[in-house]
Structure formats: C-alpha cells, structure tokens
Chain A
Amino acid sequence: MRLLREIYDFITGGSRLTPFGLALAVIAAFALPTMRAEAFTALVVATFVASTFEKPT
C-alpha cells in the first residue's frame, strides 16, 4: 500500500486533483461532438490552475 502511494506521489507530485481533471479532459476530447480541442485544452489548463490551490506538498 505504501509502495502504491509512493508511485502515485511520484507520478502526480502528490496532487489529489490532477488525475481526475486530466481524465475528464481526455473523456471530453473523445466524447464531445464539437469544440473538442477547446474543451480539452480548457480542462487541462483549469486542472493546472486548480492544482496550484491545493495544499503544497
């Protein structure tokens, strides 16, 4: 369990938010009928911005 946690922290930098934000962006890139590039980019940028408001790790 501790190893999994360390791998998670290594990949995400300890963020709880970025994997979900990125997953949402990828789903939008595949699922939306129009404006896919715009929605994907906006969601990735929003994920980055929101992640800076998490508690510093």
Chain B
Amino acid sequence: MNPWLLAGTTFFASAVEFVEAATIVLAVAYTQGVRAALLGTLGAGVALVAFVGLGAPLLANALALEHIELVVGPFLVLFGIAWLRKAVWRYAGRKAQHDEAAIFAREVAELRADREHHHGIAVAFQGVFVEGLEVAVIVVTFAASTPRLVAWSAGGALVALALVIVAAIALRAPLARVPENALKSIVGVMLLSLGTYWTGEGAGLQWWLGDSTLFAFIAAYACIAALLVGVHRRAAAA
C-alpha cells in the first residue's frame, strides 16, 4: 500500500465529514454560544479518539493480515458503493446536491426555537460524533490492514481536520463552497477500489497485475461512475 494513497484517501474522506460537522458546530455557536459548541465538540472528539485508539490495536492483534483484509475489505466495498452511488445520483440530478447553506439555516432555525444550553451541547456532540464516526471507521480499518502505516492514515484525517478548523474560523459561515460531491466521488472510487482489492486478496485471489491492479481498479471505477452519470442523466431527462 502506497502511504500517500492511504493518507490521501483518509484526507478526502475526513474533509467531507469535517465540513458537515463544522456546519453544525457553527450553527450551535451562532445561536447558543461558543461555549456550548466547544463543549459538544470536545466531548465528541474524546469519544472518537477513544474509538480509534481502542479499535485499531484490537483488530490488528486479533487477526492475521489476510484475515483482516477479508474482514475490512467488504466494509470498504460497502462504504465505497454507498458514497459513489450517491455522488452519481447527485451528478445525474436524481438526488439534491448536498447544500451546507441549507443545512446551516435549518440548524439555526431549530436551535433558535430551543434556547436550552444543554440542547446546543448535545447537537454539537451528535453532529461531530456522527460525522466523525465514518472517518474513524475508515482510519481504524486502514490502520488494521497496514499497522505500520497507521500514522499516515491518521495523519490524513488530522490534516483535513486542521484545514477545516482554519477554514471554519476564517469564514465563520457554512463551508458551502467546498465541492463536496467531487470529494465524495474521489473517496467513493478509492474506497471501492481498495475494498475490491483487499477482499480479493483476503480470499486468496491472484490479481492480474499484482499491486498495480489497485490502480487499474481506481481508473475502471472512475470510468464506470462517469458512464453511469450519463446513463442516469439520460434516463431522468427521458
């Protein structure tokens, strides 16, 4: 596994989720104060760090590498298909584009209707925890398959987190300009490609091009997704 590819995948996956979390946290800070937003965010951050810290070593110690690939690979395939098909639907117009500005407005309206301080903390906690959980699962599973590259996997997520925090502080507004569907497409292709490769390797398959088969999968899935966007667009227009 190329460490840059690994870090890049966790970076893009994390960036998408952190943008969504930042939108919710900003809505809480805007309506119920920075303290409530920070308390909820810190609580969720601790819970996520505990999940990653406990999950990776448990998985890595419990199973041999080929068994880990067979356990982790199918989850990556499922996540990859879930992300990529949503991106295809959005590009084809079968599903609304993810609109952070609309989410921000909805959160603000709901929070203004409820002035309870602890409700704001709970909303920030839930937003950060739920959005971060998918990233945590990806970081844990990648680290489990290649334990020596755990720093690269976590590093990609941390760089994304730092960039989103800087952007959130600088903008203090929904990060709607981030091309979320493009990021989700890239992550979907990466997850699906890695998942296919690892599941097959875990099942004892001999890949045609050795390790380079992974890059063939990336190219093939990107082309198939682009073709599917065209097919669904035509079907929607007909």
Whether the pair A13, B82 counts as a contact (CB closer than 8 A) is: yes
Overall SS of chain B's interface: helix
For residue A46, give the distance in angstroms from its CB to the closest CB of chain B: 10
Whether the pair A11, B79 counts as a contact (CB closer than 8 A) is: yes
Is B77's CB within 8 Å of the partner chain A? yes
Is B171's CB within 8 Å of the partner chain A? no
A19's contact among B78, B95, B203, B224, by CB below 8 Å, is which?
A: B78
B81's contact among A26, A36, A47, A56, by CB below 8 Å, is which?
A: A47
Whether the pair A22, B94 counts as a contact (CB closer than 8 A) is: no
CA distance A18 to B78 in the complex (A): 7
Whether the pair A37, B89 counts as a contact (CB closer than 8 A) is: no
Total contacting residues, chain A, CB less than 8 A:
27
Whether the pair B78, A22 counts as a contact (CB closer than 8 A) is: yes
Q: Given A18-B81, A22-B77, A36-B205, A52 and B232 touching (CB < 8 A)? A: yes
CA distance A19 to B95 in the complex (A): 22
Is B31's CB within 8 Å of the partner chain A? no
Whether the pair A29, B203 counts as a contact (CB closer than 8 A) is: yes
Q: Given A49-B228, A52-B232, A37 and B85 touching (CB < 8 A)? A: no
For residue B212, give the distance in angstroms from its CB to the closest CB of chain A: 14
On chain B, the residues within 8 Å of A37 by CB distance are 200, 205-208
CB-CB contacts of A17-28 with B at 8 A, as 1s and 0s?
011001001100
CA distance A12 to B224 in the complex (A): 20
Whether the pair B85, A48 counts as a contact (CB closer than 8 A) is: yes
CA distance A26 to B198 in the complex (A): 11
**Residues of chain B having any CB pair with chain A under 8 Å:** 74-75, 77-79, 81-86, 88-89, 94-95, 133-134, 192, 196, 199-200, 203-208, 220-221, 224, 228, 232
14 A-B pairs within 8 Å (CB atoms) are namely A11-B78, A13-B82, A25-B199, A26-B74, A29-B203, A29-B204, A29-B205, A36-B205, A37-B205, A37-B207, A37-B208, A49-B224, A51-B81, A52-B228
**Residues of chain A having any CB pair with chain B under 8 Å:** 10-15, 18-19, 22, 25-26, 29-30, 36-37, 40-41, 44-45, 47-49, 51-52, 54, 56-57
